Chain A
Amino acid sequence: MKKSLLAAVAAVALLLSGCSSSGDSAGSADGFGAIKVALVPGGAHPYFQPWKDGGAAAVAEFGVGGTEFNETGEWDQTKHNAAIDAMAAQGYNAFGVFGVSPTDINTTFAGLKAKGFAVGSLASCPGGYDIVKEPQKNSADFCLSTDTGKAAYLAATAVIKEMGGKGNLVHLTGNAVDANTIRRMDGVKQAIAETGGKVKLLTTITDIDSDLQSATKAVTDLLAAKGKQINGIVTTAYNPAVAATDGVSSTKLPIKVIAIDDDQKILDAIKSGVISGTVVQNPWGQGYVGSWVLSALGSKKCTMNTPGLYVDSGSFLVTKDNVDTYNDTRQATSKEILAAFQNEYMTCK
């Protein structure tokens, strides 16, 4: 019995030792047509869906060989790495990646770069250092992401203005040990500090962005317990934003809300006046600009002037006044960012 088991294990070992790499790593591309861009977020989340359209727009406009969206990372760095490896094995030779763990993703980027691939950090930059001051520590070729601290500051300033510059503010956000969340919290605190004590941060609720159910429960509990004391809510994560919109709408409390992102529910609530506004980010632009830059790098037509450079993909305040036109502004900004890459951040043949 033991012999047969050993024989079976030996067969696997033989199979493994006999295997050789079937594909070469990065292709030496002649043009954009030879570049296949893999867009790999850390897992499934509505925020990343516009990456698909952004990538498709780059394929149609610039003749990129193709883009593929893979969201099977399930918010686990190990599974995320496996998803990236699966794409590499299938022949994708340029990678736009949102890292699950900002401090781990640099290791993944370094591995991909070592194989000769073009790599961009999209929607989040590697953590553990200040990317603006030390871009050389970024193992990816560039980082195109929302300046989360700036976006949170923009949102908090807007809600404070709606509150009349005084009162109690609540901040709803995501994972407490994510560097981006900490930057968001700092952005909100900065806006509050500028009021000279007129606005008080009543509470910050973290870790409620994993799903809408958790966010809804947290918002319901909050409004039941402290609804009458709250003058404003600022949300800097997607699920809490939708939950806060629903909560304020159903309780009819006189709370000013600035949400984040552009879920249809949020846009409808802005139009009907239930909430004051939202700060939208630019995932479409990340997919669109990111795919062009990756193709330019992968095809060796361009090189980064500052390897690892951080570029803000933009954040925009949307209120009743511009709710119908903000997307045009966002797309125009994306084209400006692309032009900046072409003329300023890169050197092209």
Chain B
Amino acid sequence: MKFKKIFNDQRVVLTLLTIALFIFFGLRNSAFFNVDFVIYPLLRDGATLTVIGLAQLCVLSIGHLNLAVGRMAAVSALVAGASYQYWGLTLVQGAILGVLAGALLGAITGWIIVKSQVNAFIVTLAMDFALLGLVTFIYVTFTGATAAFTTKPAGMDYWRSKSLADFCLGPICGPKALPMMLVPAIFCLILVSFMFSKTRLGRELLSTGSNLRAAKLSGIPVENRVMTAHIFSGTLAGIGGLMLAYTNGSFTAAIGSQVMLPSFLGPVLGGTLLAGGAVAVLGTFIGTMMTLVIRQGLSVQGIGLETLNIALGLVLLLALSVGQIQKMFTSIKLRGKK
């Protein structure tokens, strides 16, 4: 009975599926267990995409979408990159400025949605286009042929290349497979998880997503909560943008241009509802890692581009259907008992 309950939790199923896939790919080709070239970069990319997934999750909690999540990440990276290049700010100072820029963009988006009463899909889509133009314009105008801010503040390479093995408490050091990039991701996971599970604000956000009218009638300031969700989304997108820039090595207009779909994939695979009202914070990490394991696993097998995408699509479809398949089996069993 207890086992049944455990396996009804989508996160447990996804975790087991991810582990199974990890072992499967490793048994097929032992190169997949290589720490330096597979596990470490996999976790580093997973950390960044998880934070961007959390940015999407915050607005999904109120039943909204943020199609500009990647571009908000790009603006944060741009602000941080400019602050390093032109004002000589330290890594942390520039990062704070970048994240604040993301939060500001989130606030503007939320404010437009609240005041105009236009669907979040339309507003964030328009925001995406506007920011694309702005980011491109700024890079071309200020950096010319380089089209990037290339100044690296002290400590930037540390976040890209170091692992917890370089982080020691006395004689005990962390494992080499765990990148330093996991630290901000874990910090964000704990913070977002705490907010949704332990605070009134989190419950109000979920209530707003679950039933807007009911939330309004219960006295929840829903307009404020819409703003709050978008500010959180912009802030986390900003952190994700900085993580992308630190990982890749410079601040370019291309940052965040490919993260919009993955930002949905992690939360939705993890169990977050697109309609709002339910979120899966840890599930976002697990869902993100699963897609990365599949992709890199197939890549290490030497599978070509077309086959890789077909296989990725099929496995994801299967993973997303796990819940439905479970329900189907349960209803068949119940019918059998009757």
Contact = CB atoms under 8 A, between A and B. Distances in A.
Contacts of B5: 1
Contacts of A103: 146-148, 150, 249-250, 252
B38 A89 contact: yes
Contacts of B146: 103, 127-128, 179
Nearest to B253: A177
Contacts of A193: none
A104 interface: yes
Contact of B305 (A71, A91, A102): A71
B304 A17 contact: no
Interface stretch (A19-27, A250-258, A274-282, A317-325): A19-27
Interface string A171-183: 0000011110011
B160 to A, nearest CB: 7
Given A1-B5, A101-B148, A177-B254, 10 more contacts: A12-B19, A88-B37, A89-B32, A91-B31, A101-B254, A104-B249, A115-B36, A128-B146, A177-B136, A182-B147
Contacts of B157: 107
Contacts of A60: none
B37 A178 contact: no
Interface of A: 1, 4-5, 8-9, 11-12, 15-17, 19-23, 25, 44, 68, 71-72, 74-79, 81-83, 85-86, 88-91, 100-108, 111, 115, 127-128, 176-179, 182-183, 186
B290 to A, nearest CB: 11
16 contacts: A1-B9, A5-B9, A5-B282, A8-B16, A8-B19, A19-B35, A19-B39, A21-B34, A22-B34, A72-B299, A76-B254, A85-B38, A101-B148, A104-B252, A107-B160, A176-B136
Interface string B63-87: 0000000000000000000000000
B300 A89 contact: yes
Contact of B12 (A8, A15, A101): A8
A4 B12 CA distance: 8
A16 B252 contact: no
Interface residues of B, number: 61
Contact of A72 (B148, B253, B305): B305
Nearest to B151: A128
Contacts of B296: 82, 85-86
B57 interface: no
A266 to B, nearest CB: 25
Interface stretch (B120-128, B137-145, B219-227, B230-238): B137-145
Interface in B1-27: 5-6, 9, 11-12, 15-16, 18-19, 22
B103 interface: no
Interface string B175-197: 11110000000000000000000
Contacts of A20: 35, 176
A15 B289 CA distance: 14
B258 interface: yes
A180 to B, nearest CB: 9
B202 to A, nearest CB: 17
Given A22-B30, A101-B254, A103-B250, A8 B136 contact: no
B34 A183 contact: no
Contact of A16 (B32, B43, B160): B43
Given A1-B9, A22-B33, A127 B16 contact: no
Given A1-B9, A17-B175, A89-B31, A78 B250 contact: no
A320 to B, nearest CB: 34
B19 A78 contact: no
Contacts of A105: 249
A177 B141 CA distance: 10
A209 to B, nearest CB: 14
Contact of B161 (A75, A111, A182): A111
B295 interface: yes
B171 interface: no
B201 interface: no
A160 B300 CA distance: 49
B164 to A, nearest CB: 9
A179 B15 contact: no
Interface string B250-292: 1011100110000000000000000000000010000000000
A1 B11 CA distance: 10
Contacts of B295: 79, 82
Contact of B249 (A1, A68, A106, A183): A106
Nearest to B152: A107
Nearest to B175: A17
A102 B176 CA distance: 29
A5 B15 contact: yes
Contacts of B178: 16-17
B36 A21 contact: yes
Given A1-B9, A5-B9, A179-B147, A85 B19 contact: no
Point out which of A17, A68, A101 has the most chain B C-beta atoms below 10 A from its C-beta. Answer: A101
A179 B34 contact: no
Given A1-B5, A16-B177, A128-B146, A85 B250 contact: no
B302 interface: yes
Nearest to B7: A4
Contact of B6 (A1, A90, A176): A1
